[in-house]
Amino acid sequence: MNIAIVGLGVIGGSFAMGLQAAGYKNIYGIDINESTVRIAVEQGMIQKGFVEAGDILPEMDIIIISLYPNQIAPFVEQYRNVLKDGAILTDVTGVKTAIIEKVSKVLPSTVDFVFAHPMRGSEKKGIIGADHTRFIGANALITTIPTNKEASLKLIEKLYKEVGFDQVTRVSPEKHDEQIAYVSQLIHVLSVAVVNSTQASEETLMFAGNSFQELTRIADINADLWSELFLNNRTALLKSIEHFEIELDALKYTLEENDDKELKTIFSRAANKRREWY
């Protein structure tokens, strides 16, 4: 079975390493950056590397497209005529509905595309950040579409397990995007807004507790990637922000009104909910 990894960044590079570690021999790497390809070969991450995808794609059974969200559909469109019949394509992006819509328009009916989201990002960038052990114990989501063959879904799920993922769960693209908007993207929004509101002074910042350090950690964000993730999910994310703002306003109003009774009610509701969750 020939497997190509398209885009040898943190995630693509980690997949290459993980698949080799799992015993797969025919792992090929594609990256537009020549030195990235050279590093991947030198470090034994891939069997052979290519700068031009057309040179190798026709022979590939599985193609893991580890590109930025907006590059996926153009990539499929460019190479749609050289794909092997029965090939399985898969992506690794953190938003789904918009990507599926774009890809569906250009995907030939002779191949299957299993849209997936490995839930283990990184603040690192590029092949030097690749490390397949990051996947160990992580979870992944597979967002199925009606044309997916059960065999394709099972094969991708198997690959995820083999490189170390713990739970690989199927979920609808809509549900995925709505939930990711809340549990991930909203938290990134808050982190960025907290840091940009920058009321910290050098001397007191050292006294900030865990909660400040933890929340602001994700503000050290990959601007190119996350702007694509946000804008490809902007409807769900805006809805999530608006839900949040209703609660923020309610809390703010208790401060303005000096209303300790209502403030305690708000706190108790949050405390109870949090305890239900974890």
Please list every residue from 32 through 61 that binds its own copies, using CB under 8 A. none
Supply the minimum distance, in Å, between the C-beta of residue 124 and its own copies: 13
Residues 164-193 that bind its own copies (CB under 8 A): 167, 169, 171, 175-176, 178-179, 181-184, 186-193
Residues 128-147 that bind its own copies (CB under 8 A): 139, 141
Name, in order, each residue with C-beta under 8 angstroms of 231's C-beta and a sequence gap of 6 or more: none
Q: Which is nearer to its own copies, 109 or 204 (CB)?
A: 204
Q: Which is nearer to its own copies, 2 or 232 (CB)?
A: 232
Supply the minimum distance, in Å, between the C-beta of residue 173 and its own copies: 13
Q: Would residue 40 be called left, alpha or beta, if left means φ above 0 and alpha means ψ between -120 and 50 degrees?
A: alpha
CA neighbor of 218 nearest in space, from 85, 122, 115: 122
Interaction mask 190-209, its own copies, x per CB under 8 A: xxxxxxxxxxxx-xxxxxxx
Q: Which is nearer to its own copies, 51 or 266 (CB)?
A: 266
Q: Which is nearer to its own copies, 147 or 169 (CB)?
A: 169
Residues 232-271 that bind its own copies (CB under 8 A): 234, 237-238, 240-241, 243-248, 250-252, 255-256, 258, 260, 263-264, 266-271
CA 47 – CA 60 distance, rounded (Å): 13
Q: Which is nearer to its own copies, 151 or 271 (CB)?
A: 271
Name, in order, each residue with C-beta under 8 angstroms of 179's C-beta and a sequence gap of 6 or more: 171
* Under rule CB under 8 A, residue 68 binds its own copies: no
Residues 112-131 that bind its own copies (CB under 8 A): 119, 121
Q: Which is nearer to its own copies, 109 or 198 (CB)?
A: 198
